[in-house]
A and B are shown apart, each in its own frame.
Chain A
Amino acid sequence: MADTQHLKDLVTQVRRDIVRQVHAVSSGHPGGSLGCTEFLVTLYNEVMDHDPSFNMDGINEDLFFLSNGHISPVFYSVLARAGYFPVSELSTFRKLNTRLQGHPTTHEGLPGVRIASGSLGQGMSVAIGAAQVKKLNGDDKTVFTLHGDGELQEGQIWEAAMYAAANKVDNLISTIDVNGQQIDGSTDQVLALGDLRNKFEAFGWDVITVHKGNDVDAIITGMKEAMDLTRKGKPVCILLHTEMGNGIDFMMGSHAWHGIAPNDEQLAEALRQNPETLGDY
C-alpha cells in the first residue's frame, strides 16, 4: 500500500476547516461532513482526474456531484484545498454575499460546483445525465456521486437507480454514506432502509461495501474495486459505512450533531483533537 500520510494530514486539516466554518456562523452540518471527510479527501486527491482551473462542462475530466448538499462544509474545504478557490474564502461560509452558500450552488459562481443541491434526492439523476453525455461526447471519464443514507427515502433516487441500470450507465459510481443517522434519529427509527445491497443489486447495480468508511486505505481499496467494475454494463454503488462526526469524540455515535454548531469550548476541544497540519485558513 502506498504511503497515505499526506491524505491523513489533509483529513485532519479538513476536519479543522469544517468545525471552524460551522462555529464561525453558529450554523451548518458538521456531523455528516466529518463522516465523509476521508471519502471526499481520497476521492479528490487520489481517485479523480480533475482540473481545479474549473470548466463547467468538465470535458475529459472525472466529475463529482454532491447530492446531500448539507455537508457543504467538507465539500468546500476539500475543493479549496484542491485549488478550486482560495482557502481563505472558507471564512465567508454562510455569510451574506458569499459564494459559499449554506448549501452548494452554481448560482454564485463557486468553482468546483456543477449543480445546486440541498433539496435531497436529485443528484443521482443529474449525474446520470452528465454520464450519458460523456458517452455521447466520446469522453471516457467517470462520474461520481455522494448521497446520504437517509436521502434514499426520496423516491427520485429509485427512479434514477432504475434508469441507470436499464440504460447501462456504467461510467457512474454512486456512493451512499451509510451512517445510519438522520435528523429525527437513526434511519431504523425514522424509516428503515432495509437491505441496501439487495435493493441496489435488485435494481441492476454492482455493489461494493466499504466497511471501514473512515479509513483512507480502505476507501482507496474500495474505490479501485469500484473503478474496475465500471464500463462493464452496470452502474456501481458503494455502500460506505461511516461514523457521523468522525474524528471528534463527542460528536460521534449520535445524530445529535447533524445540524448544530459547536460552541467556543467545544470548538477548542475539537481542534485539540485535530492538530493543525497544513495551515488553517
Chain B
Amino acid sequence: MKIYENTGSKDTRSGFGDGLTELGKKNENVVALCADLTGSLKMNAFADNHPERFFQVGIAEANMMGIAAGMTIGGKIPFTGTFANFSTGRVYDQIRQSIAYSDKNVKICASHSGLTLGEDGATHQILEDIGLMKMLPGMTVINTCDYNQTKAATLAIAEHHGPVYLRFGRPKVANFTPENGTFEIGKAVMLQEGTDVTIIATGHLVWEALEAAKTLNEKGISAEVINIHTIKPLDEAAIIASAKKTGCVVTAEEHNYLGGLGESVARTLAMHHPTAQEFVATQDTFGESGTPAQLLEKYGLNAENIALKAEKVISRK
C-alpha cells in the first residue's frame, strides 16, 4: 500500500493565492478582481505586486462577474475571488449570461466552500455550488484537494481557454500531493490501487479517503482511491475502468449528494457499467455553525464514514 505523507497542513486558499502571485509575475494578461475579501482569498500579494491589474469591486459580486466578462474583451484573463456562495448562487444569472453563454474566458475562484468554512454557518456554507456550476454548458468545474494541487490548478486554468469554476476552502488540511506537480484538467489521479472497492473523492475528502483506505487495509480490504479534481469534464474512462475492476464504488465530497460528484459518477456508471454506489455527501440539508472537524463528523464527511460506506457497498456486490 502506498503511504502518503502530510508534508505540513496548509489551507487550499493559500495554494490559490500563491498560484495567483506566480501567475501575476509570468503572465501580464492575468487580472484579478475581488469583492472585499482580499485577505480571505489570499490575493494580497497579487494586489501589492500589480496594483494596476487588481480590481477591488467592493461588496458587489454581480457587478464583479460582469466586469470580469468585459475584461476578457481586449485579451485579459480575469480571476474573480470571493466565497463560494457569493461566487455562484448569488450571481448565477450573471455567470450564465455574461460569462458562460457569452463564452468568456473568466476564472471564477471560490474559497470557503462546503461545511469547513465552519463557524459562520449555513448562510456562507454553500453545498450546492458544484451542481450549479456543472449544469452550465461549457463550464469547467474543479475542486482541489490540498495546497499543492490548488496552486497547480490555479496555474493550469490560466492556460485553458474558457470559463472555469475553481473551488477550494478555508481550513488547513493535509498537504500531500507533489510540490510543483502538473495539473491536467479533466484527468483523474490514481492515488491508491486496490481490488475490493473504489473510493472516488474530490476536494478536502480526498485525504479522508486515503485515511479510510488505511483503515480498510488493516481489515484486509483493498481499496482503490481516485482523486477526481475535475468534476466537469469528468474522467469517465478512469471511473469505468476502476468500477470494472472492483465492482463497487463510494463517492466522497463536501457537497450535497444532489448535484455533486456522486451524481456525475452515478450517471457515468448507469450508462456504461452499472455498479453499486454509496454516497458520502450531505443529505439535502443546509449546514450550521461549528468547527470544521465537528461539522465533518456530524455530517459524516470523514474517513470513518467513508470506510463504513465502503464496507456497506462491498456487501451489496
Question: Which residues of A are at the interface with B, using a C-beta cutoff of 8 A?
Answer: 56-59, 63, 65, 105-107, 114-119, 122-134, 136-137, 139, 155-156, 159-160, 162-163, 166-167
B55→A132 contact, CB < 8 A? yes
A63→B67 contact, CB < 8 A? no
Chain B positions within 8 Å of A162 at CB level: 58, 60
Chain A positions within 8 Å of B31 at CB level: 133, 136
Closest 6 pairs between A and B when the two form their complex, measured CB to CB: A129-B70, A125-B66, A133-B74, A159-B63, A126-B70, A129-B67
A156→B67 contact, CB < 8 A? no
Q: A159-B62, A162-B60 are in contact. Are A125 and B74 (CB under 8 A)?
A: no
- Choose one: A56, A58, A122, A134; the contact of B97 (CB below 8 Å): A122
New A-B contacts (9) at CB < 8 Å, excluding given A59-B74, A129-B68: A116-B98, A122-B66, A122-B97, A125-B64, A125-B94, A128-B66, A128-B70, A129-B66, A132-B55
Give min CB distance, B92 to chain A, whole Å.
Answer: 11
Give min CB distance, A179 to chain B, whole Å.
Answer: 23
B60→A159 contact, CB < 8 A? yes
Distance, CA A1 to CA B52, complexed state (A) = 42
Number of B residues near A (Cβ < 8 Å) is 32
Distance, CA A122 to CA B78, complexed state (A) = 17
Is B107 interfacial (CB 8 A cutoff)? Answer: no
Is B294 interfacial (CB 8 A cutoff)? Answer: no
Q: What sequence of 0s and 1s flags, for each residue 138-175 of chain B, a beta carbon within 8 Å of any chain A beta carbon?
A: 00000000000000000000000000000000000000
Distance, CA A117 to CA B101, complexed state (A) = 10
Distance, CA A123 to CA B78, complexed state (A) = 17
Is B217 interfacial (CB 8 A cutoff)? Answer: no
- Choose one: A57, A107, A126; the contact of B101 (CB below 8 Å): A107
A119→B63 contact, CB < 8 A? no
Is B179 interfacial (CB 8 A cutoff)? Answer: no
A129→B94 contact, CB < 8 A? no
Give min CB distance, A201 to chain B, whole Å.
Answer: 20
B62→A56 contact, CB < 8 A? no
B98→A126 contact, CB < 8 A? yes
Is B7 interfacial (CB 8 A cutoff)? Answer: no
Is B102 interfacial (CB 8 A cutoff)? Answer: yes
B103→A126 contact, CB < 8 A? no
- 16 A/B residue pairs, CB under 8 Å, sorted by A: A57-B74, A107-B102, A125-B64, A125-B65, A125-B67, A125-B69, A125-B94, A129-B66, A131-B70, A132-B67, A133-B76, A155-B62, A156-B62, A163-B60, A163-B63, A167-B55
Chain B positions within 8 Å of A160 at CB level: 63, 66-67
Chain B positions within 8 Å of A63 at CB level: 73
B75→A115 contact, CB < 8 A? no
Q: What sequence of 0s and 1s flags, for each residue 70-109 of chain B, a beta carbon within 8 Å of any chain A beta carbon?
A: 1111111010000000000000011011100111100000
Distance, CA A217 to CA B94, complexed state (A) = 36
- Smallest CB gap from B58: residue in A: A163
- Smallest CB gap from B103: residue in A: A106
